[in-house]
Amino acid sequence: HPTIYRKDYRVPPFIVESISLIFQLQDDHTDVFATTRFRKNPDAGEEGDQLFLNGEDLELLWIRCNSDELAANMYQVNEKGLSLTAPGDSFTLEIATRIRPDANTLLEGLYRSNGNYCTQCEAEGFRKITYYIDRPDILAPFTTRIEGNKSNCPVMLSNGNKVDEGELEDGRHYAVWHDPFPKPSYLFALVAGDLRYIEDFFTTKSGRNICLRIYVEERNITKCDHAMLSLKKAMRWDEEVYGLEYDLDIFMIVAVDDFNMGAMENKGLNVFNSKYVLALPETATDNDYLGIEGVVAHEYFHNWTGNRVTCRDWFQLSLKEGLTVFRDQEFSADMNSRPVQRIDDVRILRTGQFREDSGPMAHPVRPDSYVEINNFYTSTVYNKGAEVIRMMHTLLGAEGFRKGMDLYFARHDGQAVTCDDFVASMADANDYDLDQFTRWYSQSGTPVIEVSEHFDSEKEEYSLNLKQSCPPTPGQPEKKPFHLPVAIGLLDQDGKDIRITDDDTLVLELKEAEETFVFYGIEQKPVVSFLRNFSAPVRVKPFQSQEELAFLMAHDSDLYNRCEAAFQLAEQVIFAALEALQAGGQPVLDDQYLTAVSANISGGQNDKALLGQALQLPSETYLAGQMTVIDPDNLHAARNFVKRELAGRLIDKFTALYLENDEAEYQLTPEAMGKRSLKNIALDYLMAIDAPPQEIIDRCLAQYETAKNMTDVVSALQIIANSELDVREEILGDFYELWRNDPLVMDKWLIIQATSKRQDTLDEVKRLMSHPVFSMKNPNKVRSLVGAFCAMNHVRFHDHKGLGYAFLADRIIELNTINPQIGARMVSPFTTWKKYDGERQHMMRDQLERIVNTENLSGDIFEIVKKSL
């Protein structure tokens, strides 16, 4: 498994002027005829005349050059591709290949999902369709003709606009699509099958009428309205915020059940995991609705940030992904609650990305090397990448950022470019020095900030001393200081912001390893609201007392930081309980904490979702990431203790919260969702009380029985599945009977059982592996059962007997032959093995060794396991 290095990038020796494809879809195979016009790349210099075309798992039928069939001695084929000597500076190749979509369990290239054909070409799937220069800096206009049976493929789609269609013999027909925008092969798509669509229209700001269609299987046709609404909102938002208009006449979304990731931004023909399209109040939770809105927007936004301007090579992946995640986060913040959106985004970053950054897979936002590019669709590239964009937005301001975006499109529309090109546009448009800032792209690891405060009452001076450092990461023992925007506010004794500039919030620019910032005319010692809105992706060493945190929790005008103070306080309290348990003692709940939480509940917070967030305790997985040696059992017990005590001592408040926020009428507004979330958090607390009063149990059971929306149903079901209630089995069975024909609801049923904290969960998970709804071939099912148990059920996965570890290794070995891309993603819970006690370390290491010694191990799994060992 060779390593690919960024430094080895060379411009391609040949470029493609156009490609024309014919797909003949047959029952047990598909023949692909590709006609490609090549030209020598004038930018490549005198590079020689050898042409290499990527191609994998293909059956080559024949190859012609400038219309003449090539004899077998005129080209060479191996398992990676085909090479030949170019006959001149400009020539045409016609290549016929046979592929077998039915047997394709990898779900890249052309495959079938419930009988329908679809493609996934990012990152390197096009080479599983035909021989081609399958790299993102080769851009060409595509013409695609599809031929298939009218009976099983009444619908045949590809990128661009449909330019022809007609009848063929033997009950077959054809459709021809042309995409005029030159694009890389990873944006190619084909969909064919028995699909229905809903249709709507969008008038762009310049008055063009765009046809919008969402294609799904017939049984799902009533579930597309929310996705369509989200699409129209995203189109309007991109015009209003960035002046970006859609460019083709039609925009299509197709939902499929078998998909490796969330969705794919193929030009004009987005293919989606059905999880991010289908929703009805009875089948989808509020989080599902928000997920659909965010992912539909994300893929749509790629049309400019990714498709019109694309990546030069895969090391630049964050150029499109970090930027597009930032754009979808901002869109969702505008559509819903901005602080809640920020809290969610930061939680994802801290739980997933910080963990990655402190482990064996740590890599820069723009990696320097990889074995398998699919392993680099990571939280670092996506979420930290988005934080890097956000920091530029913070430093330059919204207007300056927009100027930078305008210049980026003016310079690079139609090109394949680098992260440096993006930063240069931002810097040039604002005449702002971002040289040091580019270290965010090249240095991995999460910086740590140490804060010390000094107040001189005589001089009325308050000073903040900030030190930054960054721990070593693989291949990077030492780091240079980052250019860090640190947003702060100072609160007076009444909790009001002291105006420290024209504004209440000031953005300090920390560039050195240590700097002191002094504020004059401060009469009394202020309370600092540090790193407002989480203005940089860093860890801050705790430096504030419980009193100060409680004060910020009650008064901070920065709503993000109010919640942050609540999390910090909760973390301190849980770790105090953990210490007590580890010392063999009885933990006690700090009264000050109880008072702060109680005050928070009664504080009249209008944003219910925000209050809900502030009340939620940090997850065990997140807390584990803060520990030097992780102790899963005591951590679980400590967190449970805090939850149980809070619930027991604030039972009246939680009961009132439940009742006040229990609305009879179902609505999908941000306010209504906020109320549902707060109500269900209250219920979760109430049911955590030791032997909850029968009245509370009855309320929970009644909610399961009578609720008409999935948010309320699964919230109750999750609590029941976690409990020892006699009715548990009966209710899980009842839910199954009701929803057995809905795969997305069945995913929830699996997740709920896999994340139950009961002792017997692993046995239950093993039983579910042979349940008819489960399949190792379907990524959603694997994620819902195996992924949920191993990555989201910290205490049970890390059970001291090591049975969870053996279970996961077995699944990874199984996936190695079915879908190694998904297999590689499943390795993640093992990557932190060095942070556990000696015995657990030993058991996890054994399993990693067992995996790495598997015969024919894929590059995907090999890379992650090898780096972990």
* Shortest distance, position 372 Cβ to ligand HT7, whole Å: 10
Strands 209-216 and 250-256, by their bridges, are: parallel
Angle among Cα 480, 484, 503 to the nearest 5 degrees reads 160
CB of 270 to ligand HT7, least distance (A): 9
Rounded to a whole number of angstroms, the CA Rg of the chain reads: 28
Does position 305 interact with ligand HT7 (CB under 6 A)? The reply is: no
C-alpha–C-alpha distance, residues 213 and 227, integer Å: 10
Q: How far apart are CA 498 and CA 556, in angstroms?
A: 11
Q: Considering the complex, state which of residue 123 and residue 153 has its C-beta at the smaller distance from ligand HT7.
A: 123
Q: Give the Å distances, CA to CA, from 857 to 105, 107, 812.
A: 16, 18, 10
Rounded to a whole number, what is the distance in angstroms from the first to the last CA of the chain? 16
Minimal distance in Å, beta carbon 370 to ligand HT7? 13
Let me know: does 490 contact 553? Beta carbons within 8 Å.
no
Residue closer to ligand HT7, measured from CB, 259 or 789 = 259
Size of the site for ligand HT7 (CB under 6 A): 14
Could you tell me the smallest distance in angstroms from the CB atom of residue 9 to Zn ion? 22
Confirm if 635 and 591 have CB atoms less than 8 A apart.
Answer: no
DSSP lists the bridge partners of residue 428 as none
Where does residue 112 fall: left (phi above 0), alpha (psi -120 to 50 degrees), or beta otherwise? beta
What does 122 bind: ligand HT7, Zn ion, none (CB cut-off 5 to 8 Å by kind)? ligand HT7
Shortest Å, Cβ 298 to ligand HT7: 6
Smallest separation, CB 108 to ligand HT7 (Å): 6
Torsions phi, psi of 413, nearest 5? -55, 130
In the bound state with Zn ion, the residue whose beta carbon lies nearer, of 181 and 377, is: 377
User: Residue 123 or residue 566: which is nearer to ligand HT7 going by CB?
Assistant: 123
- Rounded to the nearest 10 degrees, the angle between the axes of helix 670-688 and helix 694-706 is 140
**Residue showing tokens 């016929």:** 96
Site residues (CB under 5 A) for Zn ion, limited to 315-334: 321, 324
Q: How far is the CB of 597 from Zn ion (least distance, A)?
A: 38
Stretch that binds ligand HT7, among 119-127, 152-160, 564-572, 673-681 (CB under 6 A): 119-127
Report the C-alpha gap between 787 and 828 in whole angstroms: 9
As to burial, measured by CB atoms within 10 angstroms (0-12 exposed, 13-18 middle, 19+ buried), residue 695 is: exposed
Closest separation in Å from C-beta 336 to Zn ion = 20
- Nearest residue to ligand HT7 by CB is 261
Among 264, 361, 581, 642, binds ligand HT7 (CB under 6 A): 264
- Nearest approach, Cβ of 272 to ligand HT7 (angstroms)? 10
Cα four-point dihedral sign 344, 350, 355, 356? positive
Q: Which of 123, 146, 522, 848 binds ligand HT7 (CB under 6 A)?
A: 123
- Give ∠ CA 44-46-47 in degrees, rounded to 5: 65
Least distance CB 122 / ligand HT7 (angstroms)? 5
Of 233 and 771, which CB lies nearer to Zn ion in the complex structure?
233
For 725, other C-beta atoms within 10 Å of its C-beta total 17
Residues 1-30 that bind ligand HT7 (CB under 6 A): none
CB of 289 to Zn ion, least distance (A): 20
Q: What are phi and psi of 263, to 5 degrees?
A: -170, 170
**Which of these segments, 261-269, 423-431, 781-789, 846-854, binds ligand HT7 (CB under 6 A)?**
261-269
How buried is residue 457: exposed, middle or buried, by Cβ count under 10 Å (0-12/13-18/19+)?
exposed
Instruction: Report d(CA 347, CA 483) in Å as an integer.
Output: 23
Q: How far apart are CA 282 and CA 304, in angstroms?
A: 35
How far is 843 from 728, CA to CA, in rounded Å?
Answer: 33
Pair of tokens at residue 572: 């301190």
Question: Per CB under 6 A, which region of 214-222, 255-263, 348-356, 764-772 contacts ligand HT7?
Answer: 255-263
Catalytic residue among 122, 147, 293, 299: 299
Choose, by CB under 6 A, the member of 133, 138, 231, 261 that binds ligand HT7: 261
State the minimum distance, in angstroms, from the CB of residue 54 to ligand HT7: 16
Q: Binding marks (x or -) toward ligand HT7, 341..380, rule CB under 6 A?
A: ---------------------------------x--x---
Indicate the residue among 321 and 504 with the shorter CB distance to ligand HT7: 321
- SS3 label, residue 267: coil
**Is the backbone peptide bond immediately before 570 cis, with ω within 30 degrees of 0?**
no
Residue 678 exposed, middle or buried by CB count within 10 Å (0-12, 13-18, 19+):
buried
Member of 120, 425, 780, 784 binding ligand HT7 (CB under 6 A): 120
Per CB under 6 A, the segment of 131-139, 259-267, 337-345, 762-770 that binds ligand HT7 is: 259-267
**Which of 134, 137, 258, 265 contacts ligand HT7 by CB under 6 A?**
265
Q: By C-beta, is 321 or 742 nearer to ligand HT7? A: 321
Contact of residue 393 among ligand HT7, Zn ion, none (CB under 5-8 Å per partner type): none
If binding is defined by CB under 6 A, does position 301 make contact with ligand HT7?
Answer: no
Which range binds ligand HT7 by CB under 6 A, 133-141, 229-237, 257-265, 822-830?
257-265
Closest CA to 143 of 119, 125, 121, 159: 159
- Selected range binding ligand HT7 among 53-61, 118-126, 446-454, 852-860, rule: CB under 6 A: 118-126
Of 112 and 298, the one with the shorter C-beta distance to ligand HT7 is: 298
Between CA 858 and CA 372 the distance in angstroms is: 9
Report the partner that residue 123 touches, choosing among Zn ion, ligand HT7, none (CB closer than 5 to 8 A by kind): ligand HT7
Work out what residue 120 binds among Zn ion, ligand HT7, none; the CB cut-off runs from 5 to 8 Å by kind.
Answer: ligand HT7
Chosen residue from 260, 305, 353, 753 binding ligand HT7 by CB under 6 A = 260
Q: 808 is in the binding site of which of ligand HT7, Zn ion, none (Cβ under 5 to 8 A by kind)?
A: none
* Gap between the Cα atoms of 702 and 716, Å rounded: 9
Name the residue nearer to ligand HT7 (CB basis): 123 or 844.
Answer: 123
Cβ atoms of 671 and 608 closer than 8 Å = yes
CA angle, corner 516, sides to 513 and 517, nearest 5? Answer: 130
299 a catalytic residue: yes
Contact between 122 and ligand HT7 by CB under 6 A: the answer reads yes
Total length of the chain: 869
Tokens 């790495």 correspond to what residue? 852
Residue 425 has which token pair?
A: 């546009």
H or E element in which residue 610 lies: helix 608-615
Contact letters for ligand HT7, residues 209-248 (x by CB under 6 A): ----------------------------------------
> Is the Cβ of residue 122 or residue 742 nearer to ligand HT7 in the bound state?
122
Binding footprint of ligand HT7 on the chain (CB under 6 A): 120, 122-123, 260-261, 263-265, 298-299, 302, 321, 374, 377
Binding footprint of Zn ion on the chain (CB under 5 A): 321, 324
Residues belonging to the active site? 299
